[in-house]
Amino acid sequence: MFKAIFTNSFGILISRILGFIRDLFTASVLGANIYSDIFFIAFKLPNLFRRIFAEGAFTQVFIPAFAKSNHKGVFSANIFIVFLSIILIITLIVNLFPALATKAIAVGFDAKTIEIAAPFVAINFWYLPLIFAVTFLSTMLQYKHHFATSAFSTALLNLSLILSLYFSQDKTQVEIVYYLSWGVVVGGILQLAVHILAIYNYGLSKILIGGFKYLRVKSKIIKKETKEFRNQFFPAMWGNSTAQVSAFLDTFLASFLVTGSISYLYYANRIFQLPLALFAIATSIALFPRVARYIKNKDEDKALEFLQKAFWFLTALLTASAIGGIILAKEITWLLFERGAFSSLDTTNTTLVLQMYMIGLIPFGLQKLFLLWLYAKEMQMMAAKIATVSLVTYILLALSLISPMGVSGLALASTVGGFVGFTLTIKAFGVKNFFDILRSKNALYLILGTILLTVLLLVFKDFIASYI
């Protein structure tokens, strides 16, 4: 288990380091202004659909369904064709009506800004079908307990964007956004290429080719499996999409605030997502296939044993990250972004947003771990209900806090929604099971370590304050 977690974490770390280099270039070249807002809007829309249709929901439903299927090749081919067809239709619609798609996600933009942004939205959206194919192949590789390709492949997207920024340094801001948009598409093509190679090397290509070959003649025998998949997928899709709807609403509401607010959210969220992806997402990806198999084989004790080990490992890492992120938020933002077009005022505004996000790191991260249990037991409807309550909480708080707190109020609303979601997830998992996990000497070590780390970071902050 820990080998798989390390593989995921290391791959994500490499990718995120390149991502921060990318953001450093972006902040330096574009800063926090209307053109950076336009690119982030254009890139956010396909990412929104990717996370709804592809990554979370698809993986969480496909792996248990694939494990149970008696006709894995035909079942996989059918699911792939259906989903890719839907995504291609959506992509074509966005390319035919890019202005409407842009208006939908950034209502606060005026007509001129929407006109500028629309072509970039159309280009970026071609990333969606590419990354769905990547996710599909990645899920099959996860079933084989191969995580390295998927973990490291995101680095290719970041490399593509870094090269786009490098070659467009002396261009106008509009041209830079064009370079970045095509860099997204090229990155998606590179990710797909390495996954196709991995599928071939792990012998999964025979399953897929056979599935496509016999799909027409054997489609009836997977009718029941396909129906079960569909029944589980839509609740899972909604459960996973609420976080993306929340991000969408962040952007929507921020578009009514001062110019640069969307960028402040983006830069702060990039920092917040590093420990979340590096630890929580990497752990959940590595753990899910094993937990799903143990529960499928009715060995819940073994599944709980793995969950407990992952819990303490993840809690320690998230706690350290949250404390460091809150205390050193200004220093981190200054170090990463304050250069070129990114001013000290941008640092101050991004810092406030980052601190609000980091308060919720622990509940957001741990919820991903315990949601595995619900998905492995095919309790997607329960997860969807929890996500709905969390989203409603966020919406109410966002509307209440945006006026007194501005863009940082949106981040705080998201954090409180995360606490609500975590609490309800623990209730569904089982309060008794959760407290059984907490009854450990590890709890004392965690408390003492938290106190010591807080003191050390406060001393360190005072030491480096004079240099900023």
In the chain, where the domains are located: 1-6+260-468, 34-239
Least confident of 71-75, 163-167, 455-459: 455-459
Say which residues have a Cβ less than 8 Å from residue 312's Cβ, sequence separation at least 6: 440, 442, 446
Calculate the average pLDDT of the chain.
83
pLDDT band at 357 (very low <50, low <70, confident <90, very high): very high
Q: Does residue 25 contact residue 166 with C-beta atoms inside 8 Å?
A: yes
- Give residue 32's pLDDT: 65
- Round to whole Å and give the CA distance between 431 and 442: 19
pLDDT band at 299 (very low <50, low <70, confident <90, very high): confident
What average pLDDT score do residues 371-376 get?
84
Q: Does residue 287 contact residue 307 with C-beta atoms inside 8 Å?
A: yes
Dihedral Cα 30, 33, 38, 40, nearest 10 deg: 70
User: For residue range 193-219, what is the model confidence (pLDDT) as tens digits?
Assistant: 999 999 988 888 888 888 888 787 777
- Give residue 319's pLDDT: 92
Residue 220 DSSP class: G
What average pLDDT score do residues 257-282 get?
84
User: For residue range 12-42, what is the model confidence (pLDDT) as tens digits?
Assistant: 778 778 877 887 787 777 766 777 778 887 8
Q: What residue type is assigned to position 293 of the chain?
A: R
What average pLDDT score do residues 111-126 get?
87
- Round to whole Å and give the CA distance between 139 and 354: 32
- Give residue 8's pLDDT: 67
- Give residue 22's pLDDT: 83
- Give residue 212's pLDDT: 83
- Give residue 273's pLDDT: 86
Tokens of 299: 């060995």
pLDDT band at 321 (very low <50, low <70, confident <90, very high): very high
Q: Does residue 313 contact residue 283 with C-beta atoms inside 8 Å?
A: yes
**Cα distances (Å, whole numbers) of residue 310 to 178, 229, 298:** 43, 28, 20
Q: 410: closest CA among 262, 244, 208, 223?
A: 262
Q: 211: closest CA among 27, 66, 404, 315?
A: 66
What average pLDDT score do residues 80-109 get?
85
What average pLDDT score do residues 132-143 get?
87
What average pLDDT score do residues 149-159 get?
85
Angle formed at CA 272 by CA 256 and CA 334, multiple of 5 degrees = 80
Tokens of 95: 């390319």
- Burial (CB < 10 A; 0-12, 13-18, 19+), residue 77, is buried
Which pTM was predicted? 0.71
- Burial (CB < 10 A; 0-12, 13-18, 19+), residue 172, is exposed
- Give residue 4's pLDDT: 63
- Give residue 285's pLDDT: 76
